[in-house]
């Protein structure tokens, strides 16, 4: 899927700047062998996520399941209801508790990983979704 593009566009959503930085560091510029270079777009609010879809198309989104004000799961539902289905990327949710996986799956998660952010696990999930 993404091997034919010049860039791999990844949206990172969290109200926590440290989480966004941790995700970007974990994913790196080439999350799997042969991947295009990653271009990150960050959003800190639900409306910010929605607005990014007006100007960007994404190969993948990574959502912080612990986002406070605009919950990531609620934002995922909003995207699914308001964005053209062909433009909705697979979403990886990063959650604090294994028990939250079912909530993330219910919100449309293609994959769920646990906090703290683990580079190897995150890169493996990206490869599974995009290769």
Closest-CA residue to 63 (of 91, 39, 82): 91
Q: How many domains is the chain partitioned into structurally?
A: 1
Q: Is the dihedral of CA 12, 32, 114, 18 positive or negative?
A: negative
CATH code of the domain containing 39: 3.40.50.2300
Question: What is the reported pTM?
Answer: 0.94
What is the span of the domain harbouring residue 51? 2-130
Calculate the average pLDDT of the chain.
Answer: 93
| Tens digits of residue pLDDT in 95-118 | 999 999 999 999 999 999 999 999
Continuous segment of H or E residues that includes residue 28: none
């Amino acid at each position: 899927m993404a091997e034919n593009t010049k860039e791999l566009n990844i949206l990172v959503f969290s109200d926590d700047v440290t989480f966004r930085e941790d995700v970007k560091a974990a994913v790196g510029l080439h999350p799997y062998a042969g991947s295009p270079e990653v271009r990150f777009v960050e959003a800190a609010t639900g409306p910010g996520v929605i607005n990014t879809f007006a100007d960007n198309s994404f190969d993948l989104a990574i959502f912080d399941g612990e986002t406070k004000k605009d919950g990531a799961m609620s934002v995922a539902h909003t995207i699914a209801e308001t964005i053209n289905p062909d433009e909705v990327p697979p979403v990886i949710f990063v959650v604090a508790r294994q028990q939250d996986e079912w909530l993330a799956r219910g919100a449309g998660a293609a994959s769920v990983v646990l906090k703290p952010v683990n580079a190897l696990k995150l890169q493996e999930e990206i490869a599974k979704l995009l290769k």
